[in-house]
Amino acid sequence: MEELKGLKLGYAICGSFCTFRKSIDEMRVLAGMGADIYPIMSDNAYSLDTRFGKAVDFIAEIEEICGRNIIHTIPEAEPIGPKKLLDVLVISPCTGNTLAKLANGVTDTSVALAAKAHLRNARPLVIGVSTNDALAAASKNIGMLMNSKNIYFIPMSQDDPIKKPNSMVVHFDKTPEAIKCALEKKQVQPIYV
């Protein structure tokens, strides 16, 4: 996608560990399209080993794709605002926890502060939801963010309506299209697929 060439793209990952594989694969696709990616991870995403893999392995892979170190602390995230570092910031996967922080102005993690710092420059923030409570506790936060300036969503679906009726997961492969629309100040449609 031509629009992504040379784009200064922040790509933040929160602790939805089961989606790391797909998110990192999409990061590689975006790099292949010529995006200049600044990787960001929440403290939890950066440090926790889970049954889905070891933190050190994910970190090494992401840094290899992007060719730079991962922003994972509050002091590293803060300059995103004053330096106007990013054209667009993607948070995908975005957890229920980080959605709650974003919707309520809480900025005590690297990802939440990156979002605040970036939004102060009135530039687009693109969110990819991945949480079991998207249609429960997180739904009011998603609704608030959908009704907020400069915030857009990557299309998402219920991933298992029978066993996890409140769960929704982003379609990572729709990230480039969502970014392209967000740069034009538009929400890609449909949001729910």
Ligand X SMILES: Cc1cc2nc3c(=O)[nH]c(=O)nc-3n(C[C@H](O)[C@H](O)[C@H](O)COP(=O)(O)O)c2cc1C
| Residues in contact with ligand X by the rule CB under 6 A | 14-18, 42, 44-45, 50, 95-98, 109, 130-131
CA-to-CA dists, residue 96 to 91, 115, 131, 160, angstroms: 12, 15, 6, 17
Residue 11 vs 17, nearer CB to ligand X? 17
Residue 93 vs 176, nearer CB to ligand X? 93
Between strands 88-94 and 125-131, the pairing is parallel
Question: Least distance from C-beta 181 to ligand X, angstroms?
Answer: 24
Tell me the residue nearest to ligand X as measured from the CB.
15
Sequence-distant (6+) residues with CB within 8 A of 151 are 119, 124, 125, 127, 145
Residue 50 vs 157, nearer CB to ligand X? 50
Question: Least distance from C-beta 15 to ligand X, angstroms?
Answer: 3
What span, in angstroms and rounded, lies between the C-alpha atoms of 100 and 136? 12
Structure token pair of residue 20: 């790391």
Residue 47 vs 148, nearer CB to ligand X? 47
How would you class 45 by CB atoms within 10 Å of its CB: exposed for 0-12, middle for 13-18, buried for 19 or more? buried
Question: Least distance from C-beta 184 to ligand X, angstroms?
Answer: 28
What span, in angstroms and rounded, lies between the C-alpha atoms of 119 and 107? 12
Question: Least distance from C-beta 190 to ligand X, angstroms?
Answer: 22
Question: Least distance from C-beta 96 to ligand X, angstroms?
Answer: 4
Residue 4 vs 80, nearer CB to ligand X? 80
